């Protein structure tokens, strides 16, 4: 499988803040990739670099074989809608729909019309007066009706109601058959979109902490729960991302294959081991860092 | 629609296999396309293809180029043999484990199975 997007050791520095710190990952052609992580992890920064709207301080980005920055043929293949997309003040929906095809050579008026109707986007209300969910709907109309080979969706679900979220997935998947595309989503609604991703990239504090096929990611991640001494004993040599204890009970979320010896011992010690869901895994990576920060603060205090 | 414990592609393959065993899709009939499965279960087309391909590799489904995916002749027998091999581990082991915890002994267990069977 060829890679549509390749991010190679990308660092992005904003003044003294390092938003991306040597980030590398690849997006295979026609895959759906979830870009996950806490607020401030660097998801939007890496997206705007993929979209050619920003440049890395160092490192390389290749989209469809080119550096996307100011490269018109590459940009024509990308549909990128920011989560805080701005529109001119007096714009209504029809203005947006009239202008969008100029930037999207594969624009489908049918897909746009179907989405506008399904999302119930009000036609007469100025865009700037739309609700958060309605704004997200407009962004999805632009993202999907563009039929761009590379579709980058930054937080497409913000404020979107449950019916609209399922409708968005249905239209995307149905349109994919005749117009396959590579899609990168960033989202916090992990539980709901997890089954849509075939790959996940988890970021934390400007770094990639996990880049794997979805199935592999959750197959190798686990949650152990039982009495604190038993779980502590079992997790002794394992890569533990986060733990929580209540009373004498402990649950630990970790990553890495567990050998049969550990599993047998778990049974003996009555510790339950289950596969972690993607949501648990992302939360654990986020918490992991928060915990180590706290430790550092304590030490320096 | 799928749960977290088993990989999604595996769950899709299991469900299609069950439908074939139950006769929903008779041998030599067509099954939904990979993309139809993706839309129906709202899963990535790559994941759906992985699930369907698992059954192709097992000789349960076969592709007719440009037409679609079909149930192979002998698919039900193949699935039966495979599921029989897993029956003990998947069903008997948890049953015995639970029965032991609840102190349900062999005779009562037999009665329960007979009751269920006569429903």
- DSSP sequence for A30-95: T-EEEEEE-TTSSHHHHHHHHTTSS--SEEEEEETTB--TT-HHHHTTEEEE-TT----TT--HHH
Whole-number pLDDT of residue A299? 40
Among the partner residues A174, A198, A219, nearest to B44 by beta-carbon distance: A198
State both tokens at A211.
């880049």
Confidence grade of residue A143 (pLDDT, cut at 50, 70, 90): very high
Whole-number pLDDT of residue A62? 97
* Confidence check: pLDDT of A298 > 50: no
Whole-number pLDDT of residue A290? 52
Residue A210 lies in a domain: no
Both A47 and A171 in one domain: the answer is yes
Both A200 and A288 in one domain: the answer is no
Residue among A20, A25, A22 nearest A41 (CA): A20
Please write down the HEC assignment for all residues of chain B: CCCCCCCHHHHHHHHHHHHHHCCCCCCCCEECCHHHHHHHHCCCHHHHHHHHHHHHHCCCEEEECCCEEEECCCHHHHHHHHHHHHHHHHHHHHHHHHHHHHCCCHHHHHHHHHHHHCC
Residue among A224, A232, A236, A239 nearest A271 (CA): A224
Confidence grade of residue A291 (pLDDT, cut at 50, 70, 90): very low
| CA–CA gap between residue A45 and residue A49 (Å, rounded) | 6
Both A49 and A94 in one domain: the answer is yes
The string of pLDDT tens digits covering residues A199-258 is: 999 999 999 999 999 988 888 899 999 999 999 999 988 899 999 999 899 999 999 989
Residue A101's φ and ψ, nearest 5 degrees, are -60, -25
| CA–CA gap between residue B115 and residue A174 (Å, rounded) | 46
* Confidence check: pLDDT of A10 > 90: yes
DSSP letter at A100 equals: G
More confident residue, B8 or A25: A25
- C-alpha distances in Å from residue A78, one per residue of A101, A152, B99: 13, 7, 59
CATH number of the CATH domain containing A11: 3.40.50.300
Question: Torsion angle, CA of B40/B45/B48/B50, rounded to 10 degrees?
Answer: 180
Residues A114 and A122 sit within 8 Å (Cβ to Cβ) = no
Chain A neighbors of B46, CB-CB under 8 A = 30-32, 198
Residue listed under structure tokens 């202008």: A99
Name the closest residue on chain B to residue A29, using Cα atoms. Answer: B46
Among the partner residues A174, A198, A215, nearest to B39 by beta-carbon distance: A174
* Confidence check: pLDDT of A297 > 60: no
* Confidence check: pLDDT of A84 > 90: no
CATH number of the CATH domain containing A256: 3.30.70
Residue A179 touches chain B, beta carbons under 8 Å: no
User: Which percentage of chain B shows pLDDT scores above 70?
Assistant: 97
Return the CATH class of domain B8-73: mainly alpha
Name the closest residue on chain B to residue A179, using Cα atoms. Answer: B35
The boundaries of the domain holding residue A140 are: 3-205
pLDDT averaged over chain B? 91
Residue B25 touches chain A, beta carbons under 8 Å: no
Grouping H, G, I as helix, E, B as strand and the rest as coil, residue A106 is: coil
Query: What are the extents of the domains in chain B?
Result: 8-73, 76-117
State both tokens at A143.
């993202």
Residue among A141, A142, A92 nearest A117 (CA): A141
Taking an 8 Å cut-off on Cβ atoms, the answer to whether B4 and A30 are in contact is no
The total number of structural domains in chain A stands at: 2
Confidence grade of residue B4 (pLDDT, cut at 50, 70, 90): low
Whole-number pLDDT of residue A292? 46
Both A52 and A115 in one domain: the answer is yes
Both A189 and A232 in one domain: the answer is no
Residue A213 lies in a domain: no
Residue A117 lies in a domain: yes
Both A16 and A103 in one domain: the answer is yes
């Amino acid at each position: 499988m060829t890679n549509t997007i390749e991010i190679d050791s990308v660092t992005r520095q904003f003044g003294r803040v390092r938003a991306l710190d040597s980030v590398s990952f690849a997006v295979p052609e026609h895959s759906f990739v979830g870009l996950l992580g806490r607020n401030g992890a660097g998801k939007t920064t890496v997206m705007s670099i993929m979209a050619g709207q920003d440049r890395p301080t160092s490192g390389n980005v290749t989209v469809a074989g080119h550096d996307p920055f100011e490269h018109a043929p590459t940009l024509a293949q990308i549909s990128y809608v920011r989560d805080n997309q701005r529109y001119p003040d007096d714009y209504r929906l029809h203005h947006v729909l009239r202008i969008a095809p100029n930037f999207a050579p594969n624009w489908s008026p049918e897909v746009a019309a179907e989405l506008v109707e399904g999302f119930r986007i009000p036609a007469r209300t100025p865009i700037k007066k739309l609700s958060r969910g309605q704004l997200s709907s407009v962004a999805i109309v632009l993202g999907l009706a563009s039929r761009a080979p590379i579709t980058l969706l930054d937080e497409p679900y913000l404020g979107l109601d449950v019916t609209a979220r399922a409708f968005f997935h249905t239209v995307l998947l149905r349109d994919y058959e005749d117009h396959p595309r590579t899609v990168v989503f960033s989202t916090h609604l992990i539980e709901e979109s997890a089954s849509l991703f075939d790959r996940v990239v988890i970021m934390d504090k400007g770094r990639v902490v996990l880049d794997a096929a979805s199935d592999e990611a959750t197959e190798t991640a686990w949650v152990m729960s039982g009495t604190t001494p038993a779980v502590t004993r079992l997790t002794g040599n394992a890569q533990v991302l986060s733990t929580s204890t209540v009373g004498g009970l402990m649950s630990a979320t970790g990553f890495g294959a567990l050998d049969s010896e550990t599993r047998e011992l778990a049974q003996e010690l009555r510790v339950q081991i289950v596969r972690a869901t993607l949501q648990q895994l992302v939360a654990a990576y986020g918490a992991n860092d928060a915990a180590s920060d706290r430790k550092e603060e304590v030490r320096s205090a | 629609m799928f749960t977290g414990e088993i990989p999604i592609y595996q769950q899709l393959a299991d469900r299609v296999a069950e439908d074939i065993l139950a006769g929903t899709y008779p041998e030599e009939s067509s099954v939904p396309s990979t993309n139809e499965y993706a839309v129906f279960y709202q899963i990535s087309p790559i994941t759906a293809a992985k699930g369907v391909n698992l059954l192709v590799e097992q000789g349960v489904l076969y592709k007719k180029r440009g037409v679609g995916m079909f149930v192979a002749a002998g698919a039900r027998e193949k699935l039966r043999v495979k599921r029989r091999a897993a029956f003990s581990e998947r069903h008997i082991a948890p049953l015995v484990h639970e029965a032991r915890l609840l102190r349900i002994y062999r005779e009562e267990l037999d009665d329960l199975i007979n009751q269920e069977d006569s429903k």
